[in-house]
Amino acid sequence: MLATILDNPSWQEAFSKREEIFAIFLTEFAKGVNKSVIQIQYIPWQDIPGYNALIKHFLIELKKRDIKKLPKYLIDASVSLLLNEKLLNIFIGTVFSKTSAFDTQNVFSVLELTNTWLKTFRDRQVPLPTTFDYSFFLKGLYVVMDSDHAFNTAKALWVIYSNYGILPSKSPLFALIYKENILR
C-alpha cells in the first residue's frame, strides 16, 4: 500500500512545489522526530535520514520568498524546525542578509519574523543556543537603529524589549545601546 502511495505522481508534484503541503510536512516532521527520536534516543538532528535535504529545500524557499509576503504556513514550519536550535543562526542570517536597511517594510517584516523565532525560545523556556551569533544579530539591529527610520528603530527596540529575558545581561547589546545614547 505504501509503495502505491509513494508512486502516485499527484502528491509528488504537490510536494515538489514546496508549497503548503511541504511546510505542513516539515512542521509535523520536526515535531515527530523531536518527540520520538531526539528527546528519547539523543540522536543528533543531522543524523536523521533526509533531514539535511529537507532543511536545504526549506532554506531555498526562505531565500526565494519575499519576507513581507511570507505565508503563515512557512513561518509555522520555521518555528517547528527551531526544535533544532542550531538553525536559529542560519534563519536569522538568511533573512538579515537579504534585507536592505532602507526598505522599511521589509525590515519591519524581518524584525517581526525574528521576534517570532526568539519567542519560541521564550515560550519553551529554553535559553538561546550557546552558538548563537550575537555579534551578527546585534550588528543587524544596530544597522536598523542607525538608519534613522523611526518605525524600524521602534521595531528593533521592541524586539530587544520583548526578548530581554532571553538575551544575556552581559550582552554587548546593552553596552551598544547606551554607548549610542539610545536609552539615555
pLDDT for 79-130, tens place per residue? Answer: 999 999 999 999 999 999 999 888 999 999 999 999 999 999 999 999 999 8
Rounded CA-CA distance 126/132 in Å is: 13
Rounded CA-CA distance 14/49 in Å is: 21
Helix 104-124 and helix 150-162, axial crossing angle in degrees, nearest 10: 10
pLDDT at 119: 96
| Whether pTM exceeds 0.75 | yes
Residue showing cell 526568539? 118
What is the phi-psi region of residue 42: left when phi exceeds 0, alpha when psi lies from -120 to 50, beta otherwise? left
Domain boundaries, the chain: 1-84, 86-184
pLDDT at 180: 56
**Residues of the chain predicted below pLDDT 50:** 1-2, 5-6, 181, 183-184
pLDDT at 62: 93
